[in-house]
Chains A and B, each alone.
Chain A
Amino acid sequence: MLRVAGQEAASVSEADNNNQSQTNDPFEPLRTIRDKYLDAMAKTMVEAVNTESYAQATGAMLEGYLTATAPVREAMDKSMTQALQQLSLPSRQEVAALAERFTNVEMRLDDMDAKLDRIEKLLGRDQPAPPPEAGKVREGGAAVKGVHPRSEPAESGSRLGARGRFVRKGSPGKKRS
């Protein structure tokens, strides 16, 4: 529920622009009336949603929805599980269990990475990473589409890959994003 209402930020970010007077605009009086009306309505609505009765009403609506849809959800889950079984496909629970196991393996790899870091430090070979060069592929750019960091977390996140000093045999090196 603590979601950030970013739209209010948009209003903050642009509020200064609103003050620009628009002379000779025939719609300006209408706009002023509209703004005053909406301001008044905004205050009323903020007060309304901040009441016990609103909390009670939304709680009751949610409760009603959850109660009404529960049998449907259960039936769907059951039929889906049966259908997947008949098709020899894993169920959602099985896939989730597999994902959890993957995460555990990733953690083990991360533990090993930490130990390697400590060993390297004890050997006195620890040096800060070289700075990434300019012009590397940007996140969100077309070139990174299809890059799945999770596919090789140990490599992309490894002490060796990240530092760029040693690259494990057969490794493609560190991922760029």
Chain B
Amino acid sequence: MDHAVVATEAWAGLAERLQLFTRVLTTKAAIAQTPKELVWALNKAKLYRYTPVVPPEKRYPIPLLLIFAIMNRPSILDLRPGHSFVEFMVGRGYDVYLLDWGVPGWEDRHLKLDDYAVEYLPRAIRKMKAIAGVEEFSMLGWCIGALLTTIYAAMRPGEGLRNLLLLTAPLDFSNRNGLTFARWTDEKYFDVDKVVEAFGNMPGDMIDYGAKVLKPVENYIGNYYRLWDKLDDPRAVESWQAMNTWVTDNIPMAGAAYRQLIVELYRNNRLMKNELMVRGEHVDLGKIRASLLTVIAEGDHITPPCQSEAILAKTSSADKELYRIPGGHIGIMAGSAAHKTTWPHIEGWLSARSR
């Protein structure tokens, strides 16, 4: 009889866990909750200003513009209340702006990195400066966002960029043996023109698949048993669900920009060789003069450290720093330790340069 009771209870417990597991997997968490105001829009791109919470006299005068990748949602920068980089910086007295590139439609398939870096970005920056009433600003680029901000910084050195922060920046593609993506997209195996021709934009699911397959067991199996193991911990579940909400919200990448990334950067490393041409202009990294902080995630399998190191030697910045931190491509900014490690370091570096 006792065994029957125990078995029944165990079965009920298992059923309850299964229900919770399914609910977590099939529902979205509320992410990107920090209050903000739309201040500019162009095509799909939107510039937001986060509502300051610090009185003007205590606020830093130099605004901070956040730029994320073009094939992901920028909500990772504002993941959830209590664990948001945006919330952290706003609380420290920064006037924070976010440029959301939006979701490219079929009509945007011709958009190139050129368009993002020297058409959309300068316009958003002009608007931000006009609203803030300042001539100088700081800019933080992450992943492909760091690539775009680097191109911008090299091509528009006189437009007031005071501080440039590059997070896990894919800039140097010379170490082809260290780059799995470079191997997969080699012209021997991968016809990028055919892909772009067929799809218009690079589908979000394909990009997502490419990233997840870099660590297939962790992403397709480990991630879920980790959730199962922690179902009794509401905070862990909340954190997992927030991250899962962001991860599963895939967006496509503009076809022409994707092609450019593969051909000009992955295959020919034109930026680091100082050969990249953007709208007929040469992108000279030596023209970057802004204070530079490069953040490298030592365990990054998407943008390995070798991709972000060389930029320091290429720029003319008198003030530059390389910050290495254990963790992965996203974990260094959105992981549970980020608020104790990466965020304070970025804030400390910026604080000294934002007055």
A contact residues vs B (CB 8 Å cutoff): 1-18, 31, 34, 38, 41-42, 45-46, 49-52, 54-56, 58-60, 62-63, 66, 69-70, 73, 92, 95-97, 99-100, 102-103, 106-107, 110, 113-114, 117, 126-129, 131-140, 149-150, 153, 156-157, 159, 162-163, 174-177
Which residue of the partner chain B has the closest CB to A136? B35
Chain B residues bordering chain A, tally (CB within 8 A)? 100
Q: Report yes or no: A13 in contact with B52, Cβ–Cβ below 8 A.
A: no
Residue in contact with B208 in the complex, picked from A3, A17, A163, CB distance below 8 Å: A3
In the assembled complex, the Cα of A14 lies from the Cα of B244 at a distance in Å of: 13
Write out the residue numbers on chain A whose beta carbons fall within 8 Å of the beta carbon of B247: 5-7, 10
Which of chain B's residues 40-70 have a Cβ closer than 8 Å to chain A? 40-44, 46-49, 51-53, 56, 69
Write out the residue numbers on chain A whose beta carbons fall within 8 Å of the beta carbon of B48: 139, 177
Which of chain B's residues 253-311 have a Cβ closer than 8 Å to chain A? 261-262, 266, 301-303
Write out the residue numbers on chain A whose beta carbons fall within 8 Å of the beta carbon of B215: 5, 8, 42, 45-46
B contact residues vs A (CB 8 Å cutoff): 30-44, 46-49, 51-53, 56, 69, 71-72, 76, 105-108, 119, 123, 126-127, 130-134, 143-144, 170, 180-181, 183-186, 188-191, 194-195, 198, 204, 207-208, 210-219, 221-223, 225-226, 229-230, 233, 236, 239-240, 243-244, 246-247, 250, 261-262, 266, 301-303, 327-331, 334-337
Apart from A9-B243, A175-B38, what 6 extra A-B contacts exist at CB < 8 Å? A5-B215, A8-B331, A34-B225, A106-B42, A129-B131, A177-B48
Write out the residue numbers on chain A whose beta carbons fall within 8 Å of the beta carbon of B328: 5, 8-9, 11-12
Write out the residue numbers on chain A whose beta carbons fall within 8 Å of the beta carbon of B243: 6-7, 9-10, 13
Q: Contacts A2-B303, A110-B123, A176-B38 given; indicate if A52 touches B211 (C-beta within 8 A).
A: no
In the assembled complex, the Cα of A120 lies from the Cα of B36 at a distance in Å of: 26
Write out the residue numbers on chain A whose beta carbons fall within 8 Å of the beta carbon of B40: 153, 156-157, 162
How far does the Cβ of B14 sit from chain A's closest Cβ, in whole Å? 12
Interchain residue pairs with CB less than 8 A apart (30): A1-B210, A2-B181, A2-B211, A3-B72, A3-B207, A6-B330, A7-B212, A7-B247, A9-B328, A10-B240, A10-B244, A12-B335, A13-B240, A13-B334, A14-B240, A18-B229, A38-B222, A42-B218, A55-B189, A59-B188, A70-B198, A100-B107, A128-B133, A132-B35, A132-B49, A136-B37, A138-B33, A138-B36, A156-B40, A177-B36
Residue in contact with B38 in the complex, picked from A7, A18, A149, CB distance below 8 Å: A149
In the assembled complex, the Cα of A97 lies from the Cα of B106 at a distance in Å of: 10
Q: Report yes or no: B221 in contact with A38, Cβ–Cβ below 8 A.
A: yes
Which residue of the partner chain A has the closest CB to B210? A1
Write out the residue numbers on chain B whose beta carbons fall within 8 Å of the beta carbon of A8: 215, 218-219, 301, 328-331
Write out the residue numbers on chain B whose beta carbons fall within 8 Å of the beta carbon of A54: 184
Which residue of the partner chain A has the closest CB to B63? A128
Write out the residue numbers on chain A whose beta carbons fall within 8 Å of the beta carbon of B71: 2-3
Q: Report yes or no: A73 in contact with B35, Cβ–Cβ below 8 A.
A: no
Q: Report yes or no: A99 in contact with B219, Cβ–Cβ below 8 A.
A: no
In the assembled complex, the Cα of A112 lies from the Cα of B105 at a distance in Å of: 26
In the assembled complex, the Cα of A15 lies from the Cα of B299 at a distance in Å of: 14
In the assembled complex, the Cα of A52 lies from the Cα of B186 at a distance in Å of: 10
Q: Contacts A14-B239, A63-B194, A159-B130 given; indicate if A99 touches B105 (C-beta within 8 A).
A: yes
In the assembled complex, the Cα of A13 lies from the Cα of B235 at a distance in Å of: 11
Write out the residue numbers on chain B whose beta carbons fall within 8 Å of the beta carbon of A110: 42, 123, 127
Q: Contacts A9-B328, A128-B131 given; indicate if A42 touches B42 (C-beta within 8 A).
A: no
Q: Contacts A38-B222, A117-B130 given; indicate if A1 touches B207 (C-beta within 8 A).
A: yes
Q: Contacts A10-B244, A62-B190 given; indicate if A49 touches B216 (C-beta within 8 A).
A: yes
